[in-house]
Chains A and B, each alone.
Chain A
């Protein structure tokens, strides 16, 4: 694991998304520069280093709404909270870290006001959590959480997210280095119909 390096962190900041939909590296969010962060996916039981318990509970609950666990695993199983913890520790801009921490404080205040008997977002019912998140959907805090959660879901596991390749399995993506035709249904049919493989 490398220490935070300002020149690296700056990388994604200055890059526009010109080829929107084409050149992957350039359309990724300006939040993390994971480039030097080669931290291993953390075990479920590993202690968190940057987040305290309350923060971890609340943020994990949000992540679990963004990418829920249902018939198939979601953000919890993919270890998103560990991914976020590692990101704060290693690569996240100070301003984003503050946004995240302040977001938890704000969350607790407003949930406390709305539901005095519950107090915590993570203790709300599923419906209320969703309802609440809808109301903050356009805040920079929620957007940051969304980006972190989804990045942690689908990024290469070497960056400490996507535990057991849960995100990739969900999509049906397989990172094998070699493939042979037929690649998909329609080219397979085409060959059966006697089409030219080339």
Chain B
């Protein structure tokens, strides 16, 4: 099941150029870029290394079987419903712990942010009581790196329909349209709304030594057994190792970044696969642990010099935790759709991407059509309209009729950054290594729920316009968990208001860089990973230049 590490092996007590913590969407890119630029790199990844050819279609839990998903007793979290309530034991932040990180089993919807995501605060004005802010960089500055992700990681899609500007075409055409995409497209057109093929981090044809998608249908929540999904495991990690300069150390959990008397990082302390504490000496550290784990590691690395946690003089580490809202309207159709086949999404609409003050609240979003249930979750009754029987003859009849005839039109929405929404260290709860657990607060701004409700109405309009025989939806509720982990070490020019600068360097520590979901200043409208990866490429570019100029 596990596959072998192929790169070099560096002694822990000799200094390497970089330690990268985390090998996920961002960490994989960092590892590949820095090692390709000629540096020695050790990547610490707490999860195991999986052999993609062994990925299967077991709905009950391939990931659980392999002990890689973050659900276990061994890494618990606590949760707070609001700033002043007391924490209770509950895991609310979800990601995958394995070489390749959450990119291994994400759905691979791969939207670029739009120019407005970077300067919305200036366009719309301030929003009191929130952390609503412009980014220190613009879309134009990031565009070359979006293009780099397109071509180096591998993205399929087609332009049009309100899509943000691009300097190069997609490297691959879109994936074949599914019935959900056809129904969605026709509905959007009849409503006069823009629609286009979904950009996906999945190969539609052979690309860069990997095959095109075989349409097995198991993307969301599964690893891709043919490596058509453009994950870090399939794309960046092998290239990093092929340089001969990058060592991926799987099953190694970073617990602390040590600094010297001058406040510079000098080594990363970690528990190895045997649970033994080790420390890797390094010239510089790049943390790519995601929006949950990156702030946790900084907060765990407090010291006399950094009493509030490493790189946290601003008190912003862990704050402004964001994700994206998601709402669902369902349609039942006369003819079979067979939505269990192929990728989850083939058409999207960004007609209502921008926030419109006339609506009376802040919020924008995007929409798509999908079906996201396997036979087991559907068979347990989750796919049926409310009020359906839960067992017996009629229940049986409905499950048989509905499984292949239902689509789920999703709205994906903004999430306003709030200082109170944050990742802290739980004062009591510990993981198996004795590291303090994440204590997570999620208590959204009221506009977030309004945006969800508004988008739900739009998705219902789509289902209505698509000719569904029966329509139902789920009433939106405030978010209580996240799979998009964003904003907790935000980027900014002002060291009092942000954790990293425009190059992803920590304001407080010259040889510490943070580049992953935690860097984002705003949430976008769903599908943040394309942006996380573009930021990683951009940061790697600047880190390389700094290192070559002796400026780290």
A contacts, CB < 8 Å to B: 7-8, 10-16, 18-29, 33-36, 65-68, 70, 72, 74, 130, 133, 137, 146-147, 149-151, 153-156, 158-159, 167-168, 170-181, 183-187, 189-190, 195-198
17 contacts between A and B (CB under 8 A): A19-B326, A21-B377, A21-B382, A24-B220, A29-B380, A35-B64, A68-B392, A68-B396, A151-B380, A155-B60, A172-B336, A181-B177, A184-B178, A184-B338, A184-B404, A185-B179, A198-B158
Q: How far is the CA of A186 from the CA of B207 in the complex (A)?
A: 29
Is B375 within 8 A of A167, CB to CB? yes
Is B64 within 8 A of A18, CB to CB? no
Q: Is B373 an interface residue (CB 8 A)?
A: yes
Is B336 within 8 A of A184, CB to CB? yes
B contacts, CB < 8 Å to A: 57-61, 63-65, 69, 71-74, 76, 89-92, 94, 158, 173-179, 181-183, 197, 204, 214-217, 220-221, 225, 326, 328, 333, 335-342, 372-382, 390-393, 395-396, 399-400, 403-404, 408, 474, 480-483
Q: How far is the CA of A150 from the CA of B379 in the complex (A)?
A: 6
Is B403 within 8 A of A173, CB to CB? yes
Please give 8 more A-B residue pairs, beta carbons under 8 A apart, in addition to A14-B72, A171-B399. Answer: A7-B73, A14-B90, A18-B481, A21-B474, A23-B483, A25-B59, A36-B65, A159-B60
Is A16 within 8 A of B92, CB to CB? yes
- Nearest chain A residue, comparing its CB with the CB of B380: A150
A74 with B396, Cβ < 8 A, contacts A171-B379, A171-B403, A186-B179 known: yes
Q: Which A residues are CB-close (under 8 A) to B76?
A: 14
Q: Which A residues are CB-close (under 8 A) to B381?
A: 150
Q: Which A residues are CB-close (under 8 A) to B404?
A: 171-173, 184
Give the contacting residue for B215; candidates A33, A167, A180; CB below 8 A: A180
Is A21 within 8 A of B73, CB to CB? no
Q: How far is the CA of A167 from the CA of B379 in the complex (A)?
A: 8
Give the contacting residue for B173; candidates A133, A168, A198; CB below 8 A: A198
Q: Which B residues are CB-close (under 8 A) to A24?
A: 59, 220-221, 372-374, 376-377
- Nearest chain B residue, comparing its CB with the CB of A169: B400
Q: Which A residues are CB-close (under 8 A) to B399?
A: 170-171
Q: How far is the CA of A196 from the CA of B158 in the complex (A)?
A: 12
Q: How far is the CA of A122 from the CA of B146 in the complex (A)?
A: 64
Q: How far is the CA of A196 from the CA of B333 in the complex (A)?
A: 22
B129 CB, min distance to chain A CBs, angstroms: 26
Nearest 8 pairs between A and B by C-beta? A18-B481, A154-B379, A185-B335, A184-B179, A186-B179, A171-B403, A35-B65, A184-B337
Q: How far is the CA of A150 from the CA of B374 in the complex (A)?
A: 13
Is A170 within 8 A of B396, CB to CB? yes
B426 CB, min distance to chain A CBs, angstroms: 14
Is B91 within 8 A of A15, CB to CB? yes
Q: Which A residues are CB-close (under 8 A) to B57?
A: 156, 175, 177
B349 CB, min distance to chain A CBs, angstroms: 17
Is A10 within 8 A of B391, CB to CB? no
Q: How far is the CA of A176 from the CA of B481 in the complex (A)?
A: 33
Q: Which B residues are CB-close (under 8 A) to A130?
A: 392
B180 CB, min distance to chain A CBs, angstroms: 8
Q: Which A residues are CB-close (under 8 A) to B396?
A: 67-68, 70, 74, 170
- Nearest chain B residue, comparing its CB with the CB of A154: B379
Q: Which A residues are CB-close (under 8 A) to B92?
A: 16, 18
A11 CB, min distance to chain B CBs, angstroms: 5
Is B372 within 8 A of A22, CB to CB? yes
- Nearest chain A residue, comparing its CB with the CB of B181: A187
Q: How far is the CA of A19 from the CA of B336 in the complex (A)?
A: 26
Q: How far is the CA of A99 from the CA of B134 in the complex (A)?
A: 56
Give the contacting residue for A7; candidates B61, B72, B197, B379; CB below 8 A: B72
A25 with B335, Cβ < 8 A, contacts A151-B376, A183-B215 known: no
- Nearest chain A residue, comparing its CB with the CB of B404: A172
- Nearest chain B residue, comparing its CB with the CB of A10: B73
Give the contacting residue for A35; candidates B60, B337, B376, B481; CB below 8 A: B60
Is B340 within 8 A of A156, CB to CB? no
B480 CB, min distance to chain A CBs, angstroms: 6
- Nearest chain A residue, comparing its CB with the CB of B383: A21
Which of B173, B179, B181 has the most CB atoms of chain A within a 10 A radius of its CB?
Answer: B179
B292 CB, min distance to chain A CBs, angstroms: 13
Is B91 within 8 A of A183, CB to CB? no
Q: How far is the CA of A178 from the CA of B211 in the complex (A)?
A: 13
Is B177 within 8 A of A187, CB to CB? yes
Which of A10, A20, A21, A168 has the most CB atoms of chain B within a 10 A radius of its CB?
Answer: A21
Q: Which A residues are CB-close (under 8 A) to B333?
A: 186
Is A195 within 8 A of B177, CB to CB? yes
Is B400 within 8 A of A16, CB to CB? no
Q: Which A residues are CB-close (under 8 A) to B91?
A: 14-16
Q: Which A residues are CB-close (under 8 A) to B372?
A: 21-22, 24
Is B178 within 8 A of A147, CB to CB? no
